[in-house]
Amino acid sequence: MTAAADWKLQQMVKASGWPLAPELLYPGNDFCAPAGNGLVPLHWACAHGKDGLVKHMIAQGANVLSETPDGQSMLALAVQSGSFQTVMLLIDQLKALAAPLPHAELKERLVKTFGNGHPNQKNRLQQTLKDWERIRKLGASVGRG
């Protein structure tokens, strides 16, 4: 990592409020492995709506299919945070992976949380969920062929 990239990452980490050493968020680390006090970087970033950190971790190969010990998905954590940007980053990555669609309860929470916001936000969410469904259907039909 260059000095400029290192400095930029340190500043992003500092601004995010990440409570542990910034080195834990450097490229090459496992963002789904427990760090100090059992804190899992990707889980923490999703639960706190830290879209800059989530974007960084995804770019570094973080497993967005990870779940908390009690079975919560990264998408569920992001919805709880109320961060539309974090939710969209995760959905875009989940779509790219052709991951399973969110279960009905989570989909309902997504729509309830972000469906009453700005019309562009509502429309983007609805279109993205439709796209994700289409991707899954195409994947299923290709798998059968």
pLDDT computed for residue 7 by the predictor: 81
Percent of the chain, pLDDT > 70?
93
Fold of 3-144: 1.25.40
- pTM for the model: 0.87
C-alpha distances in Å from residue 33, one per residue of 7, 50, 133: 24, 18, 30
Give the start-to-end residue ranges of the domains of the chain. Answer: 3-144
Q: What is the DSSP string of 72-91?
A: -BHHHHHHHHT-HHHHHHHH
* 105-131 per-position pLDDT tens digit: 999 999 899 888 778 888 899 899 999
**Confidence (pLDDT) at 6:** 77
Supply the pLDDT for residue 130. 92
Residue-level pLDDT at 13:
84
pLDDT at 140: 66
In this prediction, residues 13-28 reach a mean pLDDT of 87
pLDDT score of 143: 53
Q: How confident is the model at residue 145 (pLDDT cuts 50, 70, 90)?
A: very low
Reading the block at residue 43, the tokens are 């889980």
pLDDT tens by residue, 56-67 = 999 999 999 999
DSSP string, 42-63: HHHHHHTT-HHHHHHHHHTT--
More confident of the two residues 103 and 141: 103
